[in-house]
Amino acid sequence: SSNFTKQIWVFNNSDAERIYLYANLLQKLPWKANPQHLDNFRRELNAETNVSTDRDLILTQTNVQLDQEMPCYFDTKKSMLKYPHFVATKDFMSTLPKESPLKGKRYEKCAVIGNSGSLKQSTCGSQIDGMDFVFRCNGAPLEGFVTDAGKRTDFLTFNPSILYKRFGGLVNESMIESYITFMKQYDSMVWYPCFGSRQLVEPCIKAISYHDQVDSRLVIGHPSHYVSIWEFWKRRGLRKKPSTGLYLVSLAATLCNEIHLYGFWPFPIQLHEGKVQETAYHYFNNLPFTSHHSSDSEFRLLLQMHMLGSVNLHMGTCT
Ligand code: CTP
């Protein structure tokens, strides 16, 4: 890996060469917004999915029926037989909002922040904070990373698996306390995809029950919305389930007139000031690269959208 700190070198690995070319392409070509191309994508999404952001992004009292069974989209047929479906009881229904807080909303400039380590040393924070609406993924921490990743957050996803990874499944008071303290850094809408795995439904609903102790608005994702977007991408050749980042880019297309992406770089090396550097998978920890998604295909897809002017895939430092 020390080879990569040199300005020029012999590529003995075509992957490294390809990543180098992507980085060069993104950093050197000027980007121009093409609202027509973004609109084409928006129309295709609307025409080819049976969901709408206004009606189906989050669970509300109108898009779920009393006593409705809620299957989980990542569960297999076998596990569905093993565990009974969650049923929307009267109590559960009463916790849901009457309608989506995003209903009828449209924003001029949005940013979707991926969690890549490429954000480190980017100094993109103030550019990100200057946007009209900022989406973030998977409880991305703000404190300590503001210079590079900004702090503005309007929509944050919070995968229920994080409750186990970071807050011990909220099984005791001290775990609950640290979860609530962590959540206090946000003042946004927090979207929990509770109906991915049956086993995570109750902990997920428990996480939302602390809504009066945090400043954010905690909402539940409607499973049909994610599934419909997933099917859209499946029909376009995506092999694995879309990542949260790609899901949010699709969502942003329905809410925003211009889309800027930061922190989308699923590669272990990057270009920094003309030199190749190793890159962490996340900007906020040193976990190794792991992904359950078709990260490479997703990146090439975003690159295509960048070339079309539908999204601006920011790479490198912000000046
Ligand atoms: N991402 C990226 N490059 C990285 C890390 C993340 O492009 N090096 C994007 C992906 O679109 C990802 C999103 O940023 O979905 C959020 O990152 P992360 O929290 O790491 O997502 P995953 O753990 O892959 O989980 P998920 O299943 O929620 O996508």
For residue 319, name the pLDDT band (cuts at 50, 70, 90): confident
Mutate-to-test residue for ligand 1 from 113, 135, 137, highest number of ligand atoms within 8 A of CB: 137
Q: Determine the pLDDT at residue 3.
A: 53
Which atom of ligand 1 lies closest to the CA of 157? Answer: 28
Residue 44: CB atoms within 10 A of its CB come to 13
**Both structure tokens of 220:** 């539940």
The pLDDT tens digits of the residues spanning 5-58 come to 666 667 777 888 899 899 999 988 889 999 999 999 999 999 999 999 999 999
- Position 12 scores a pLDDT of 74
Distance from the alpha carbon of residue 167 to the mean position of ligand 1, in angstroms: 20
Testing ligand 1's pocket by substitution, the residue of 113, 115, 226, 279 carrying the most ligand atoms inside 8 A of its CB is: 115
Mean predicted confidence (pLDDT) in 266-272: 90
Rounded to the nearest whole angstrom, what is the distance from the C-alpha of residue 205 to the centroid of ligand 1?
A: 23
Reading phi first (left if > 0) and then psi (alpha if -120 to 50, else beta), residue 155 is in beta
CA-to-CA distance for 114 and 309, rounded, in angstroms? 19
Residue 303 reports pLDDT greater than 50: yes
Q: What percent of the chain clears pLDDT 90, i.e. is strictly above it?
A: 83
Take atom 9 of ligand 1 and give the residue whose Cα is closest: 114
The predicted model gives 266-273 an average pLDDT of 89
Average pLDDT over residues 62-80: 91
Q: Residues 93-131: pLDDT tens digits?
A: 999 999 999 999 999 999 999 999 999 999 999 999 999
Res 78: pLDDT: 80
Amino acid at position 55, single letter: R
Residue 158: pLDDT above 80? yes
- 207-256 pLDDT, tens per residue? 999 999 999 999 999 999 999 999 999 999 999 999 999 999 999 999 99
pLDDT bracket for residue 261 (50, 70, 90): very high
- Please report the atom of ligand 1 found closest to the CA of residue 114: 14
Among 86-90, 104-108, 266-270, which is the least confidently predicted range? 266-270
- The percent of residues above 70 in pLDDT, for the chain, comes to 97
For ligand 1, pick from 138, 251, 300 the residue to mutate: most ligand atoms within 8 Å of CB: 138
- Give the model's confidence band at 89: pLDDT under 50 very low, under 70 low, under 90 confident, else very high: very high
- Residue 283, pLDDT above cutoff 60: yes
The mean predicted confidence, pLDDT, of the chain is 94
* Minimum CA distance residue for ligand 1 atom 17: 115
Among the atoms of ligand 1, which is closest to the Cα of residue 140?
19
What local confidence, expressed as pLDDT, does residue 4 receive?
Answer: 57
Question: Would you give the end-to-end CA distance of the chain in angstroms?
Answer: 28
User: Which ligand 1 atom lies nearest to the CA of residue 245?
Assistant: 11
pLDDT at 265 over 70: yes
- Among protein residues, the one with the nearest Cα to ligand 1's atom 24 is 291
- 192 vs 287 pLDDT, higher one: 192
Q: Which residues line ligand 1 (CB under 6 A)?
A: 114-116, 137-138, 159, 243-246, 264-266, 281-282, 291-293
1: pLDDT strictly greater than 80 = no
Show which residues are catalytic. Answer: 293
Classified as helix, coil or strand, 83 is coil
How far, in Å, is the centroid of ligand 1 from the Cα of 62? 31
| ipTM of the complex in this document | 0.98
Closest CA to 86 of 64, 110, 107: 64
Q: What is the pLDDT of residue 80?
A: 77
Q: Name the band, by pLDDT with cuts 50, 70 and 90, for residue 76.
A: confident
DSSP 267-305: SSEEEETTEEEE--SSSS--PPP--SS-HHHHHHHHHHH
C-alpha 271: how far from chain center: 24
